[in-house]
Structure 1
Amino acid sequence: MSFDVVNPGILTLLEDSGRIGFQHLGITTGGPMDEHAFYWANRLLNNPPGTNQLEITFGQLQLNVNAATCIAITGADLSARINDKPVRSWCSYAVKKGDTIEFGTPKQGLRAYLAVKGGFECEEKLGSVATVKREKIGGLNGNGEPLKQGDVLRFTPHVNVIDQRAPKWTIPHYDAPLELGVMPAYQNASFSHDEQMTFFTSAYEVSQNIDRMGYRLSGAPIKSRLDGIISEGIAFGAIQIPNDGQPIVLMKDRQTIGGYPKIGCLSSLGAGQLSQRSPGQSVSFSPMDVADAEVERRLFNRVIFG
C-alpha cells in the first residue's frame, strides 16, 4: 500500500493546490508550479482537483511499487519508464506490486507531475501538504523537506484500471516560443512609455538563477521612476524590477511581501508555462487585459472542475 523511494531525484516535492489563507502571517501558498499539468494529472484519475501528488523537477526519481494502483503522469517529458519501458506523459497507467517507476533526464520541460489514485496519505499542516522548504512546512513529514531515499509514500490500493489520455489540444509544447500576457498592475504607471515599450518588444532569456521562489530573466534592462516602494503583498506571477532592471517573475514559494516596483503580473496559467522553461530559453511579453485572463481561467476551470 505504498511506493518506496529508491532515488528521490534532484528535487521531488509533495504538493497539493496550496496553503490558502495565511499570507497575512507571512506564510506563502506553495503548491504546484504548473497548475495546468497538476490539475490534469488529477483529472486523468478522477481525483478531486486539489489531491496531493508529486512534483518532479529535473527527474531521476525512482519508486518501487508495493500495491496495485493507478497513476497519471503529466507535465515535462522526463523520460518516464515503468519496468524500464518508456511511457508517455499526459496518460494514466495501472501499476502493480513489484513494478518500478523511474524518471530520467529532461527531454522537454522541467517539471513532471505524478498523481496516484486517491492521493498519498500524509498529515496536513495549516490545511495543506504543500512543501515549502524555506518555511520548513509541508511535505511527507511536515517539515518542508523534499523526498529522500527510504521515504515511504502510502496510499489506498486501487485494483480497477483507469486508462485515460489528455486530449491533444491540452498538451503544451515546452520548447515552443513563449509569449506571455502581462496585466498592468502595481506600479505600472511608474514605468515610462519608452520603458514599457522596451519591455514588451524585447526577448528575455531565462537565467541560471531560477527556483520555486522566482525566475530571474536577463535582457534589456528597464527602469522605474521609483527608487523603491513600501513593502506590499505580492501575487503569484508578479514581475518585480530590481535596481539592475532585470525582471524577476515571482513564483509559488515567493515571499509574501516585496519592496521592488512591479510592472505587472502574469496569470497563474502563464506563470505555470514559464515554470517549464529551462535556463537559456527565450520568453517575451505582451499587454493583457484582466478580463482576458479571467476568461482564460474560467475556460480552464470549466474543463477541470466541470
Structure 2
Amino acid sequence: MFDFLLKRLENYLDVTQRNTARPVDAEMQRLASARRPAMARSVAQSHEPALQASKLHKAYNNVEVLGAVSLQIQPGEVVSVIGPSGSGKTTLIRLLNGLEQIDNGEIQINGNLYSPRPSGQQKPRFMENAEHRLNIGMVFQSFNLFPHLTVFGNLLLAPRYHHLASDAELRQHACELLHKVGMLEHAWKYPHQLSGGQQQRVAIARALMMRPQIMLFDEPTSALDPEKVNEVLQVIESLAHEGITMVIVTHEMNFAFKVSDRIVFMEKGRVVCDDTPQAMRSGQHPRVEAFLKDVSLA
C-alpha cells in the first residue's frame, strides 16, 4: 500500500505527466485587452550608447574565441550579428549579458562601466549592479523555460522576485504579453505541452516581462522545425518596429537584412564588417559577398 501511494504521489508531482490544462478564464482575457499606464522601470536619460563593448577578448583553454571585438549599439537600434559557425557570435552575446566573464576589454551600458577587479587579480568581472543587469533581456537557442512552471508561472517568476510591481500589475502585464505573442490561450500549460515555436514565443514574452532596455537573441530559431521559424520571426520583427534596442545572432539572412539597422559580420573571433544592410547588399565587402553567394536575399 505504501509503495502504491508513493507512486501515485510521484506521478502527481511529475508535471511532465500532465497533458491537460485549465482554460483561460474571462478575467485573463479582460486583463490582456485592458488599457493601463506603462509599467516601465526608470532608466536614466543619457546621450551615451545603450550598449558599448570595447576590445573584448575571450579564450578557453588558451584557445582564442574572441579577439579585440568592439561593438556600439545606439538606443532603439536593431543590430544583427551574422557569420559562419564558430566565429564567436554566441560567445559575444554571452559576454554582453554577463553569462561569461571577459578576459580583457570593457562593456558599458548607458555609459556605466562594468569594472575590472582590483589590481592583483587577473580577470575582470562584471559589477554586481542589479539595475544595470535588469536592463538586458536574453532569449536563448533552446528556450530555457522552467519545466516545473506553467507558461504564466514562467512569466511571473523573475518580476516577482525583483519586486518589479504589484502582483495585480504583473499578472495584467503577463496577460498582455502572452496575448501579444499569441500564447494567451496556453497560459496554464507546461512547457512540455508546447511546440518549439510556442516555447520560444513564451521565452520572448518572459524576457519582456522585466521591461528590458536591450534585448539579446542568441539564434532564436536554430532549434525550431522549419515550419515554426516564421511565427517566432514575426514576433521579433514586431518588437523591432516598436523601437526596442536589439542584438540578434542569427542565420536567417533574409530576416536579418529586413529588420536590421546594421549588420555585423564576424569570422574567426573578429568583426570583419559592420555596416548597413544596403552597403552589405551592394558588394562593397568581398568576404560578406562570398558568404552570401548562395543566399537569395528578398
Tell me if TM exceeds 0.5.
Answer: no
Q: TM-score range by the shorter chain?
A: under 0.3
Structure with more of its chain in strand, by fraction? 1
What is the TM-score of this pair, normalised by structure 1?
0.26
